[in-house]
Amino acid sequence: MSSVYVVGADLIKFGRYPNRSPAQLGAEAALLALDDAGLTIRDVGALYVGSSFNAASMMGQQILQQIGQTGIPCVNVSNACASGATAFREAMIGIMSGLYDVALAVGTEKNPPGMLPSRKTEGPPPEGLFGSGTMPAVFAEAGMVHSAAYGTTIEQFARVSVKNHYHATMNPKAMYQRETPLEEVLASEMIAWPLTKLMCSVNVDGAAATVLVSARKARELGLSRAIRVRGSALASDPWEAHNPVMFDANSVTRLAAAGAFEMAGVGPQELDVVELHDCFATAELLHYENLGLCGEGEAGALIDSGATTLGGRVPVNVSGGLLSKGHPIGATGVANIVEIVQQLRGEAGARQVDGARLGLAHVLGFGAAAAVHILEKA
């Protein structure tokens, strides 16, 4: 199988951009990534764009209208929170196929304001009548299964927010760069037990982009800053007894992780740095176990130990994560990969994980889709 390398990666600062379109945000990220690679849009053979809410508006073509209508094929992807990672993976597959030497993968989003709904249904609005379909309630219920099985406490879930908000103070592109002590996280507005407001991800606008190239092109450009894609897997939710009445964040993530580890020929104990889908604080603890960072039932102890904080054994979400960097749905999957690329290059500044050589990026889309990518310093 031919190798694929990431030679350009960047993102715009996550925040609110009321006067700019998602295409403009995506175009800015695309130019940043091309500049990072030392390439131009004329070098790009294909464009893949992830945008959960905006893909149907021919987002890729709109981006090219901003940066150069070179006539290349555009693939527009909507795959919930996995949209960006799906676009990245399709770009990788395009290079692996031998069709393209250079592909651009962009994730861009302007989220609708407020709490994001799940599915529309017939009959009277189901919210409150038949439990809750809000995302905080869905991930609260997912966390309470872990709590019932292993005694995981609200303090342990809250420590995820403390950690990721701390990490974000070192990321100038994060939406929030302010520490939140445990007492503050616990005292913020209760949304759905055990999730307080500070344990829910930040609903923001944003865009991120990566330039992927073939081995031949990478050698031509020079490998000093190139990052190799060692493993890639995308999964849909396999059958599980409660799914889809109850969202199953676990099986789909485990399926994608197993595929990516197998392709990479490495195990979770070899990872130096991880960006995972902390859409809610409960989710991060579930994914410690789903990704094999600890054994079953040990996630609470892992966060307590400090192993996933910068300076620990396997730092998780050093970018600040979705909780503090922000979660522009379709951009998140690309942004997670950008963070891993910057870490493996040793260019992550104050939040640099010392000597990081192997990293993992994970996202999880409601509905469900999970993507896992394993990257390595070339």
Q: Which residue, among 190, 241, 273, 214, has the nearest Cα to 92 in the 3D structure? A: 214
Nearer to other proteins, 190 or 258 (CB): 190
**Which two three-digit tokens encode residue 5?**
């390398």
Q: Which of residues 253-292 bind other proteins (CB under 8 A)?
A: none
279 is catalytic: no
Q: Please, what is the end-to-end C-alpha distance for the chain in angstroms?
A: 16
Nearer to other proteins, 138 or 209 (CB): 138
DSSP state of 372: E
134 binds other proteins (CB under 8 A): yes
192 binds other proteins (CB under 8 A): yes
327 is catalytic: yes
Query: Among 7-15, 133-141, 168-176, 216-224, which window interacts with other proteins (CB under 8 A)?
Result: 133-141
Distances (CA, A) of 277 to 33, 211, 244, 294, 358: 22, 22, 19, 16, 18
Give me the 210-239 binding string for other proteins, x by CB under 8 A, dash otherwise. -----------------------------x
Q: With H, G, I as helix, E, B as strand and everything else as coil, classify residue 362.
A: strand
121 binds other proteins (CB under 8 A): yes
Nearer to other proteins, 190 or 301 (CB): 190
CB 295 within 8 A of CB 302: no
Residue of 65, 130, 220, 305 that binds other proteins (CB under 8 A): 130
137 binds other proteins (CB under 8 A): yes
Rounded Cα–Cα distance for residues 316 and 273 (Å): 6
Give the CA angle between residues 121, 123, 124 to the nearest 5°.
100
Residue of 18, 19, 129, 267 that binds other proteins (CB under 8 A): 129
Give me the 140-179 binding string for other proteins, x by CB under 8 A, dash otherwise. xxx-xx--x-------------------------------
- Distance from the Cα of residue 376 to its chain's centroid: 17
Which residues does the annotation mark as catalytic? 81, 327
